[in-house]
């Protein structure tokens, strides 16, 4: 099997590449990524010499090059992660989000159609459903209306609708997955959990937007990877699957848990101005995926402890990122 993973130098795509190499040593994994600020290949140092791992530096919006690669490598599966992924950056400037997330997806769909790929899995997000209120009995289901609130989620929703349209129009072999917030190894330090761990370890302030009562539903990245594996191999074409493990936490709870595990002081918490259009709550009903046979392996407590340990043992990776261009980005946020 030839499996194309787009965005395989990023957080989730990178974990997925490792997951696939470990689980399916007879598959060839092709990682297409143009290495934006969020992509790095050091995470693949221990697999780069393997004969079944291939890195092809390419921008998914480069139609000519994408078609050439599809023609040359005969991909059986396309697992599409590549995207601009950070909500705050989309609020500052949304243009690249539309280009990469919408146009890039359309080009990959066209190539998938042209070269008879067996399946295209579009990795999307629960944010396309907008926000929930604080009623703990409400969840996003696959039938919830698409009501994105940020430029990022609007770009992802647009790409979801393109995938749906290609299924309806051309009967293409597609699935869409919509996962909740991920955490785990190699999470870029602009996002809440790695930002908190890295700043607490460096004795720096942790910015919490608004009152910290917004809720996110956290899933360990490994459980996202095994859900995609299941959808890739077993899901009927055209189906959408929500992915989430019932781990709802307020942002303040998440930050306080990390501070406690690291045995540091809550004085590092700093309440700052709220994110524009900040969604109140996300929560996933994963019933449809569970019926297909999926079960998460991590609860939040074991997952966050494993993740904190990973950051303690891999300071070189995240410290070099926060001392690079990211430093300037972070300073401009406040
Ligand atoms: P990330 O920002 O860590 O990684 C994105 C990767 O895509 C990077 O390696 C980047 O270099 C690459 N990329 C960006 N533009 C590209 C282009 N034009 N051509 C080729 N490669 C390009 O993102 P992530 O957090 O790993 O998210 C991966 C996917 O999962 C995204 O589609 C995102 O919407 C979705 N998702 C993320 C989460 C989450 O909690 N992080 C949850 C649900 C869904
Ligand atoms: O729900 C899935 C989505 O999760 C993915 O589609 C996105 O790609 C991914 O980035 C993530 O989006 P969020 O906006 O939920 O993640 P982020 O880590 O940026 O923020 C999580 C929460 O923490 C959110 O309510 C905003 C808040 N926050 C974030 C940062 C960076 C803070 O309070 N302070 C911060 O400094």
**Contact present, 140 and 126 (Cβ < 8 Å):** yes
Task: Determine if ligand 2 sits within 6 Å of the CB of residue 282.
Answer: yes
CA of 331 to the centre of ligand 2 (A): 18
The per-residue pLDDT for 331 is 81
CA of 259 to the centre of ligand 1 (A): 27
The per-residue pLDDT for 16 is 98
Q: Which residues pair with 79 in a beta bridge?
A: 5, 121
Task: Determine if ligand 1 sits within 6 Å of the CB of residue 61.
Answer: yes
Q: Which of 126, 275, 283, 330 to mutate to test the pocket of ligand 2 (most atoms within 8 A of CB)?
A: 275
Task: Determine if ligand 1 sits within 6 Å of the CB of residue 8.
Answer: no
The per-residue pLDDT for 83 is 98
Task: Determine if ligand 1 sits within 6 Å of the CB of residue 105.
Answer: no
In this predicted complex, what is the ipTM? 0.99
CA distances from 19 to 47, 195, 229, 298, 309 (A): 11, 24, 9, 15, 19
> Is residue 152 among the annotated active site residues?
yes
> Is residue 127 among the annotated active site residues?
yes
Q: What is the pTM of this model?
A: 0.98
Q: Taking each helix axis as running N to C, give the angle between helix 192-201 and helix 300-313, from 0 to 180 degrees, rounded to the nearest 10.
A: 50
pLDDT values of the chain reduced to their tens digit, one per residue, 334 residues? 999 999 999 999 999 999 999 999 999 999 999 999 999 999 999 999 999 999 999 999 999 999 999 999 999 999 999 999 999 999 999 999 999 999 999 999 999 999 989 999 999 999 999 999 999 999 999 999 999 999 999 999 999 999 999 999 999 999 999 999 999 999 999 999 999 999 999 999 999 999 999 999 999 999 999 999 999 999 999 999 999 999 999 999 999 999 999 999 999 999 999 999 999 999 999 999 999 999 999 999 999 999 999 999 999 999 999 998 888 888 888 7
The per-residue pLDDT for 292 is 98
The helix (run of H) or strand (run of E) holding residue 303 is: helix 300-313
Report the nearest atom of ligand 2 relative to the CA of 192: 18
**Contact present, 160 and 146 (Cβ < 8 Å):** yes
Which residue's CA lies nearest to atom 4 of ligand 2? Answer: 181
Question: CATH second-level architecture of 2-188+218-246+278-298?
Answer: 3-Layer(aba) Sandwich (3.40)
CA of 48 to the centre of ligand 1 (A): 20
């Amino acid at each position: 099997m030839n499996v194309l993973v787009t965005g395989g130098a990023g957080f989730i795509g990178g974990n997925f590449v490792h997951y696939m190499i470990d689980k399916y040593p007879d598959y060839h994994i092709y990682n297409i990524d143009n290495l934006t600020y969020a992509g790095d290949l050091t995470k693949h140092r221990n697999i780069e010499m393997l004969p079944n791992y291939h890195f092809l530096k390419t921008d998914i919006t480069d139609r000519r090059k994408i078609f050439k690669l599809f023609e040359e490598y005969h991909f059986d599966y396309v697992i599409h992660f590549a995207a601009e992924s950070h909500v705050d950056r989309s609020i500052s400037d949304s243009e690249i989000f539309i280009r990469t997330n919408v146009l890039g997806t359309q080009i990959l769909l066209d190539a998938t159609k042209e070269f008879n790929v067996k399946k295209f899995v579009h990795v999307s997000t629960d944010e396309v459903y907008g926000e929930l209120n604080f009623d703990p009995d409400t969840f996003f289901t696959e039938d919830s209306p698409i009501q994105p609130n940020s430029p990022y989620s609007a770009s992802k929703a647009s790409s979801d609708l393109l995938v749906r349209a290609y299924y309806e129009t051309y009967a293409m072999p597609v699935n869409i997955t919509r996962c909740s917030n991920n955490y785990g190894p190699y999470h870029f330090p602009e996002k809440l959990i790695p930002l908190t761990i890295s700043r607490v370890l460096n004795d720096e302030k942790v910015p919490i937007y608004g009152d910290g009562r917004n809720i996110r539903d956290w899933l360990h990245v490994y459980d996202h990877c095994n859900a995609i594996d299941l959808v890739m191999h077993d899901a009927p074409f055209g189906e959408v699957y929500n992915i989430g493990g019932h781990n709802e936490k307020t942002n303040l709870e998440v930050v306080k848990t990390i501070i406690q595990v690291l045995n540091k002081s809550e004085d590092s918490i700093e309440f700052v101005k709220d994110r524009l259009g900040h969604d109140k709550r996300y929560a996933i009903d994963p019933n449809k995926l569970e019926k297909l046979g999926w079960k998460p392996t991590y609860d939040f407590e074991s997952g966050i402890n494993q993740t904190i340990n990973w950051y303690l043992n891999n300071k070189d990776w995240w410290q070099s990122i926060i001392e690079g261009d990211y430093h300037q980005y972070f300073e401009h946020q406040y």
